[in-house]
Structure formats: C-alpha cells, structure tokens
Amino acid sequence: MLGKMTQKAFVSIYVLMILNLLFWMLSLIGGFVLGIGPALRTIYEMFLNHKFEYHTYHIKEAWILFKKYFLIGNAYFYTYFILLCFLVYDLYLTSQVKNIWILPIVFIILFLIILTIIAVWINFVGQPWINSIGRRLGE
C-alpha cells in the first residue's frame, strides 16, 4: 500500500516536471512573449488527453498542439492580460483616492476583475475540458 502511494506520488511529480519543461521549452520557442499563451493551452490540452500516463507525453505532439493553438492562444492570453492589467492599474489608482464615494467604484472594479478571471477560466480551462468530455462521450 505504501509502495503504490509512493509510486503514484513520484509519477505525479514526474508528469508535472514533464509539463513544466514542455511549457518552458514551448515558451522559449515562441520567443517567450508570443509563446506563453499557446504553451499554457498546449500543456493543459496534453494533460487532459494523457492525465498521469507519463509514457504518452511526446514533444512531437506538444509541437503540433503548439502550432495549432499559436494564434488563438496568443489572442486569448493577451486580450485578457491587457484587460487585467488595465483593471488592476485602475484599482490601484482608485485606491489612492481617500474619499468615501470611491468605495463603490472599487467594488465595481473588483467585480470586473473577478468576471475577467471567470472568462479566462472558461476560455483557457473550460473549452479543452468540455472538448475532452465530448471526445469521451463519442467513444
């Protein structure tokens, strides 16, 4: 029992190491600035496809997925990144004003930040998850 738990822990750590190395490799291939969004989408898609079966992770598949998600990954990532940067900076600026009437504005900005994070989850995490469920139901 202890041996199986230890093996499962080490396999999980090994898979996370593989995904981490793939993320950094794909980010560097994309020039780091243009590689973060597609690399995130690629490793998430690979994890949904293979889970903790470390034998099935291949660089060739990662490269194919990276090319497939290059444009859409960058579009999603930088759209939300710029929007979140704007909202966080706006929150910083409004928190500098020391009047009571600014408090509702701060809460509105916090609400918009939360909505943006939910939208990021739906586009980055939700779509591949929904697609993987559809593939499993079709099998």
The CA-based angle 36-72-139, given to 5 degrees, is 105
28-46 b/e (C-beta count within 10 Å ≥ 16 → b): eebeeebbbbbbbbbbbbb
89 band by pLDDT with thresholds 50, 70 and 90: very high
> pTM of the entire structure?
0.75
Q: Is the pLDDT of residue 15 over 80?
A: yes
- Orientation angle between helical segments 36-50 and 2-29, nearest 10 degrees: 150
Q: Is the pLDDT of residue 126 over 80?
A: no
**What is the per-residue pLDDT for 4?**
87
Question: 49 and 129 in contact (C-beta within 8 Å)?
Answer: no
How far is it, in rounded angstroms, from Cα 6 to Cα 18?
18
